[in-house]
Amino acid sequence: MKVRIIQNQETLVQLDKVMKEDGHNLFFPTHVVENDKGIVGFLSVDNTPVFYMALHSQLASARDSVSAFRQGERLMQIKNKSGLILCTEDSPYLPLLKRVDYLNLGKTTMNLKNYV
């Protein structure tokens, strides 16, 4: 098994094909994972544009939420072609994301490890 950086469009196209065959989307891949069968996966290392937003449930209004969300999107669009918004299942924003063209990628958990 080896991991190598993605250096050209051809590799990215091959990776996309392999991952779609297995029901996976590409999430900002930077490296391909290969074994004796060819490309088998990818890593996204320090390359994921993520948009976090949290507002106080009592102190912020619905209008504040919409305004902050739109400004966050504009800031993301300056640097990125796409991005992720992480949203908990109990968030009041979750049902609204589909209405503004976000694809729900299903349940996941976030896990943090500090490397320092």
CB 32: neighbour CB atoms within 10 A? 22
In a domain, 112, yes or no: no
Within-domain flag for 79: yes
**Whole domain around residue 68: which residue ranges?**
50-99
pTM for the full model? 0.64
> What are the tens digits of pLDDT across the range 20-51?
999 888 888 999 999 999 999 999 888 778 88
- Does residue 98 register a pLDDT over 80? yes
User: Is 110 domain-assigned?
Assistant: no
Cite the DSSP H helix spans in 22-81.
62-79
Residue 65 domain flag: yes
- Tell me how far apart the alpha carbons of residues 112 and 72 are, in angstroms, rounded to a whole number: 23
Strand 84-85, strand 50-51: pairing? parallel
- Tokens read off for 10: 């051809």
Domain count across the chain = 2
